[in-house]
Amino acid sequence: MPRKLLKRYTPDPHTVRNHRHLRWLAHFLADPNLFHMNRRSVSGAFAAGLFWASIPIPFQMIAAAMTTIVVRVNLPIAVALVWLTNPLTMPPVFYFNYLVGTWILGKPANAGDFHMSLAWISSQLHAIWLPLYFGSFVVGVIAGMLGYIGIRGFWRWHVVRQYHTRRHRQRHI
């Protein structure tokens, strides 16, 4: 079952609440829904994690964690999914988001000669910020919706498959 696989790789709620850096958040982390492994909680975590992974902001994990606390979905999964946009994948993901933003806004995709440096980003930010963030928001919403629907469908398919396997075994005993 997906629940068993996910539980194997997620931290224990007691360990998270009692972590020395997170003790001051223990009141917020006391909600058991933040660590439940059910279809609603995991699919909501996928939606939150994929959305925040698409948004180019610092500390995406904190935004994902706050979202999971508010909507009461699985915290470890949402925070882990934010790492889909890691330093290796950020440039192509955010460039794609920029292209989506320029396409939707009807602007030409003109960011000048690209150089991966802080100086280039600060000099071009005035020209790219609107398409980048608008495209990131659109891609984030779509990725979150697809993640939510995909996980709910996969979970349902897996439960039905397990049910049929159990019935098949019982008939042949």
> What residue ranges do the domains of the chain occupy?
2-171
Q: How far apart are CA 35 and CA 6, in angstroms?
A: 11
**Model confidence pLDDT, tens digit, residues 108-163:** 877 666 666 667 777 777 888 899 999 999 999 999 999 999 999 999 999 999 99
> What is this structure's pTM?
0.79
Q: How far apart are CA 7 and CA 9, in angstroms?
A: 5
CA-CA distances (angstroms) from residue 85 to 50, 120, 138, 154?
Answer: 9, 20, 16, 23
What would the two tokens of residue 35 be?
């660590």
Report how far Cα 151 is from the mean position of its chain's Cα atoms: 12
Q: Taking CA 51 as the corner, what is the angle to CA 144 and CA 81, rounded to the nearest 5 degrees?
A: 95
The pLDDT of residue 26? 55
More confident residue, 55 or 115: 55
The pLDDT of residue 34? 80
Residues in contact with 144: Cβ distance below 8 Å, sequence separation at least 6, in sequence order: 46, 47, 48, 50, 51, 54
Report the percent of the chain where pLDDT is more than 70.
76
What Rg value do the Cα atoms of the chain yield, rounded?
Answer: 20
Mean pLDDT, all residues of the chain: 83
In the chain, the N- to C-terminal Cα span, in Å, equals 22
